[in-house]
Amino acid sequence: MNKKKVFTHFDSQGKAAMVDISAKKKTIRTARASCILSMKKETFLMVKNGSTSKGDVFGIARVAGIMAAKKTHELIPLCHPLSISLIKIDFELDDGNFSIKIKSQCKLDDKTGLEMEALTAVSIAALTIYDMCKAVDKNIIISDIKLLEKSGGKSGTFKRK
């Protein structure tokens, strides 16, 4: 007796449209996302040391991610403008794999969730790190952009297994 899952961004004739959220309730909603940058050892160590002696790589990527999350509805065509309450971005260095994990956490009190804001935050933070390292290493790869968790709203909590 499953209600069939359907794409919500198409109307009955298959044309793109924003999902109508006018009748939904405002509730506290959260979303968390992450991604990974993989680079060669030399680059990783420059970033790692650079980030202590120069202080700026992660600082700039963090600002870029926060500002980009606020632009999500300008970037993703069918996203709604939202009253974002919180955007946080953290970095974890993995010395064994020469990789950097970026994690975002977003929160608001509005009629729809901000999964896309959380995903946009880590994506642009990662691209910013790429930009700052590309003079030494153009082979950096950004991977595993994924939603970790969301809560709030009618569809309830999602947690990636």
Q: Which of residues 93-112 bind its own copies (CB under 8 A)?
A: 107-111
Q: 70: which residues sit within 8 A by CB, 6+ positions away?
A: 84, 87, 117
Coil/strand/helix, residue 101: strand
Cα–Cα distances in angstroms (integers) from residue 73 to residues 56, 64, 85, 132, 142, in the given order: 28, 16, 15, 26, 22
- Quick check: 45 binds its own copies (CB under 8 A)? no
Of these residues, 56, 90, 131, 144, which one is catalytic? 131
In the block, tokens 């953290």 appear at: 90
- Quick check: 157 binds its own copies (CB under 8 A)? no
- Quick check: 60 binds its own copies (CB under 8 A)? yes
Closest of 56, 53, 33 to residue 102, by C-alpha: 33
Which of 62, 99, 100, 102 forms a contact with its own copies (CB under 8 A)? Answer: 62
Is 131 among the catalytic positions? Answer: yes
Q: How many residues bind its own copies, per CB under 8 A?
A: 87
In the region spanning residues 121 to 140, those forming contacts with its own copies, defined by CB under 8 A, are: 123-124, 126-128, 130-136, 138-140
Which lies closer to its own copies via its Cβ, residue 100 or residue 133? Answer: 133
Q: Give the active site residues.
A: 131
